[in-house]
Amino acid sequence: MRARSLQIYLLDGHPAGRVKAFMRGWTGAVWRIPKELCARCGGQSDFAGAGVLCLLDGAQSRTLPTESLYAALMEQEPSAWQNALAFTCAEGFSAEERAYLCARLSGKVPTCTLPDEGESALEEYIEKAQLCADMLASNEESGVRREVFADTQLEIPATSRAPLTPVSSTLSPQIAPTDILTPQPSPLNPHSRTPQTLKPSSAEIAAQIEEDPACAAFLGEAQRHLGTFGYPEQASLLWMHNYLGLDWEALLVLLHQVREHETQPGLKSYESYANKLARDGATTAETAEAWFTVYRNVPRLYTFLTTRWNLSGSKPTPAQSEKLERWTAWGFADEVIDLAFEAALDIPAKRPFDYADKVLRVWQSEGIRTPEQVQAARAAWSAKVAQKSTKTAARAPASSPDGIVRKGGQVVPSTPGGWDLDELARRARQKPVLQEWED
């Protein structure tokens, strides 16, 4: 299954309220409406028209077509459902289309007859609506509660309503997302997540805090670093620990470094640094500190090299940043990197960063780390080249004054005047033949 992009609109400003899921360029939409908020849908134009409702009550679900979504919501018995999924379309649905869609969402064989193009369009709608419905049904955030732990006060999202039932459980097999893997916790970390779900839900956050005192202590410290500390921050930090594998101490280093060097960093900035740490294997406090030391050195080193050698560019490209990080991680001082650029610009190299990288790779493999070792290696190389030039000159053939070249002890004529009789006779025999051919 190819990658998809979904968009979420929170009508009430929080995930516990009314939520609309849709895709760019798609005229359909799927709404999740809590029972307590269904009266607010009267002003929504989408709910004034026809559509299909899926009423959810724990593990039970009921699907029905309707000419007015809002009227159908208000007519339902409050005790018979907790949340509703509403399937809408800007073009609206005919009675046959509503019946077809209702049957497909209920896992039944449609009995109504549609034109081929109409059935194809509805199947495409069902495919996209399924993705939106499964995403909405798996979102269990429904509120925020406060809990006081041993040494900190945390704001923990909680679940007060029954969990939503994914619509995929009621769909027929042919449209169920069978190629999406079901998230399974890791045996090493019961709170680990798979790439399909990534961040934990509020209930999982609360469970992990209760089970792991170190988690509760870390979140208390993180709250002092971040200030604002709601569900998004908690879910992101636990995702960094559970999924990316950063331990609690490494996460504290991350929070400190980003707050110290970034101006008003957002949540995406923290997640970006966490991904880079996990990519480079810096998952402990010690390795994270070393990684940030290398990372902070890149802008300074780039400015030094561009100023020193009059290179263009106000900031390094991603490829140049990668090389600068690698050189710093190898332990090369600025003076040694400068010598590598000196060799690159003596050529002159069209891409000095690439040539300097090749030079530094050689020095890295040979254990050259200081300017003195570089000078010694250059002197040894110059002596080797000079010795090779001497041997090449000694093996070169020598010419005698009479034009005879002596090569390997054998006398070979080098001019027509030095040809032997056999060669002259051979040419004399060939000459008449050539003349006859010309005649």
Long-range pairs of 111-115 with CB within 8 A, sequence gap ≥ 24: none
How high is the pLDDT of residue 349?
Answer: 57
What is the b/e burial string over 381-400, where b = at least 16 CB atoms within 10 angstroms of the residue's CB?
Answer: eeeeeeeeeeeeeeeeeeee
Q: Please indicate, yes or no, whether residues 379 and 410 belong to a single structural domain of this protein.
A: no
Cβ neighbours for 102, distance < 8 A, ≥ 6 positions apart: 52, 63, 64, 65
Question: Is 188's pLDDT higher than 90?
Answer: no
Mean per-residue pLDDT, 121-136: 85
pLDDT at 246 over 90: yes
What's residue 345's pLDDT? 76
149 and 269 part of one domain: yes
Among the ranges 168-172, 210-214, 261-265, 398-402, which has the highest mean pLDDT value?
210-214
Residue 184 has pLDDT above 70, yes or no: no
Report if residue 410 sits inside a domain.
Answer: yes
Residue 91 has pLDDT above 90, yes or no: no
Name 368's Cβ contacts closer than 8 Å, sequence gap at least 6. Answer: 336, 374, 377
| Same-domain status, 168 and 264 | yes
pLDDT at residue number 237: 92
Query: Which two three-digit tokens encode residue 46?
Result: 């989408």
> What's the mean pLDDT in 357-374?
89
The pLDDT tens digits for 371-409 are 899 888 888 888 887 887 776 666 655 544 444 444 444
Percent of the residues in the chain that have a pLDDT greater than 70, as a whole number? 73
* 116-120, 224-228, 249-253, 430-434: least confidently modelled range: 430-434
User: Is 212 inside a domain boundary?
Assistant: yes
| 3 contacts: CB under 8 Å, gap ≥ 6 | none
Q: Alpha helix locations (H) across 76-190?
A: 95-105, 116-137
Among the listed ranges 209-218, 221-230, 284-293, 333-342, which one has the minimum average pLDDT value? Answer: 221-230
Is the same domain home to 300 and 240? no
> Per the domain annotation, does 2 fall within a domain?
no
In a domain, 394, yes or no: no
Claim to verify: residue 36 and residue 102 sit in the same structural domain: yes
With a cut of 80, say whether residue 177 has pLDDT above it: no
325 within some domain: yes
Q: Note whether residue 192 is domain-resident.
A: yes
What total number of domains does the chain contain?
4
Query: So what's the pLDDT on residue 247?
Result: 92
Give the start-end residues of each E strand in 294-397: none
pLDDT digits (tens, 9 = 90+) for 311-348: 887 788 888 888 888 888 888 888 899 888 888 777 66
What residue numbers bound the domain in which 338 lies?
289-389
In a domain, 1, yes or no: no
Residue 362 lies in a domain: yes
Pair (125, 253) in one structural domain: no
Which of 42-51, 189-198, 244-253 is modeled with the greatest confidence?
Answer: 244-253
DSSP element (H, E) containing 438: helix 421-438
- State which of 42-56, 178-192, 358-372 shows the largest mean pLDDT: 358-372
Residues 320 and 216 in one domain: no
What pLDDT score does 426 carry?
64
Indicate whether 22 and 103 sit together in one domain. Answer: yes
**Widest distance between CA atoms in the chain:** 123
% of residues, the chain, pLDDT over 90? 7
Query: Nearest to residue 352, comparing CAs of 311, 316, 319?
Result: 311
According to the model, what pLDDT value does residue 238 have? 92
Do 380 and 407 lie in a common domain?
A: no
| pLDDT tens-digit map of 25-52 | 888 899 898 888 887 787 777 788 888 8
Same domain, 131 and 212: no
Instruction: Note whether 196 and 183 are within 8 A (CB).
Output: yes
| Average of per-residue pLDDT across 109-130 | 84
Q: How far apart are CA 288 and CA 282, in angstroms?
A: 5
Angle, CA 202 vertex, CA 196 and CA 207 arms, to 5°: 100
At 194-219, the pLDDT tens digits run 443 468 888 889 899 889 999 989 99
